[in-house]
Structure 1
Amino acid sequence: MEQIDIQTILTLGFAIAVVITIIKTARVVPQKTNFVIERLGKYSRTLDSGFHILIPFIDKVAYTHSLKEEVIDVERQTCVTKDNIQVGINGVLYLQVVDPHKASYGINDYRYASSQLAQTTMRSVIGQTDLDKTFEERAKINEEVVKALDEAASPWGIKVLRYEISDIELPLSIKDALEQQMRAERERRAAIAKSEGERQAMINVSEGQKQEVINLSEGDKMRQINEAEGRAREIELVAIATAEGIRQIAEAINHPGGQEAVSLRVAEQYVKEFGNLAKANNTMIVPAELANIGGAVAGLTEILKIARPGGK
């Protein structure tokens, strides 16, 4: 019985030893992870992702590093600006292990060291910046912090990707002063906008009046031009009509019987005008030649003959 118990114990011990040996020998490294291997207490190599065989009890995994981007919350810190204003700043730091060997042996705790370095660097950068600039130039401040951190963390095998200011806390007195300043600035902008609007409105009104005067003068000018052209056209048409009438009368006189018709027409007009003269006045002076109407008509007829072409 005792012999069986001893064999069982030996078998169990051997099985446990085999399991331990297998565990110590075979290692599977996950993706985006590196194992730092030490052989007899000294750095041997760095294992990338995949399956690897180690020498039992000689090789061991000393450090495990993730190659993924890490996010570290930088605790709130009190900084003094260039114009001697205390502000509380919270930040977020993004970094990545690029050299597992340096990250293992270059520094004891790169996360803590990076967080502390970010705080001290932020104090230095804020100390060179006015309070107003801390709000306006956050991107520039972040870039300066990243640049300083990246240079300091390079021996640690760490790449600082970016730093972001998550919050800036101000004293209550400074908040009140800033609110008053912003309120005054908004009122100033509103007054300027109102004055600019009134100025533009006055300019628009004056431009409208100017354009109206120009339009009226242009309209009056066109009216005068049109009236002048109308009168000129009227005179031209009257002259053309008069000339055409005289021409037709002259042609009619040259036709047979034309002279007798003219003589008759002159006699009728003579008598008519003499009759109108008698109607207009009670007292009338009668010319001595009134009795000789035929002689007057004959005289006019002779004048027409002389004026006719050829004197016939």
Structure 2
Amino acid sequence: MRSAIGEMELDEILHGRARLNSLIKGSLQEAHVPFIRDWKSDDTKSQKSHQITNYVILPTDKHSRRDVRLRCEVAAEINSLTNESEGNLSRSRMKQMPPKQRSSWKLKVKRKQYTNLAEAQAQALRVISAELNKPGGQEAARLALAREYVTMYGEMGKQSNTILFNERPADVNALLTQAVTAMQAASSAMPATTTNPPPAPKETITAAIVDTESSEAVDTKAEEKSNNKPV
């Protein structure tokens, strides 16, 4: 009895699913309307301002998908040719500019680049300062400094084929202290660059004077001997 009831319920469910599938299929076929989108692009061959209108149809089968792919490839080729022609046009205009105007234009471009770079760096500094002021920001900065310090140790060991071990590798405070000490020692050990050479010691100067006097005396004695020889 239970098996018969179960089979009846299963048959009813399967028939209901088939009816639902047929309803969905019919509604989709009736409501199907090709979707059309217009897009415009410049014609690069004539360099005119007229526009070409292309139509992209929603792919419903294999052929329409292939047509859409071909149209997209043509559109990409047209865009690349447009960009190339615009670049050539701007390059030719720049070559035709007078030298003074060209230099001023280059200076404007460089100034804009430096301005954008400065704005980006300022924004980065603002973001970093805001993150450092948050809870845990100082600890994150110390950990980042310790990581850079460990990386520096690794580079030193790689260049010199040695392995450097810290006395307490798990102690971050000791690592930071070592980093600060190393930076202070490096800054204090850097010699001051001076244009004039350091003065020589007094003993060296005296020895040089004595050597010159003795050489002059030897030269005078040699000249006297040569003059006193009989002809």
Per the TM superposition, whether the score is higher than 0.5 is: no
More helix by share: 2
More strand by share: 1
Q: TM-score, normalised by structure 2?
A: 0.30
Q: TM-score, normalised by structure 1?
A: 0.23
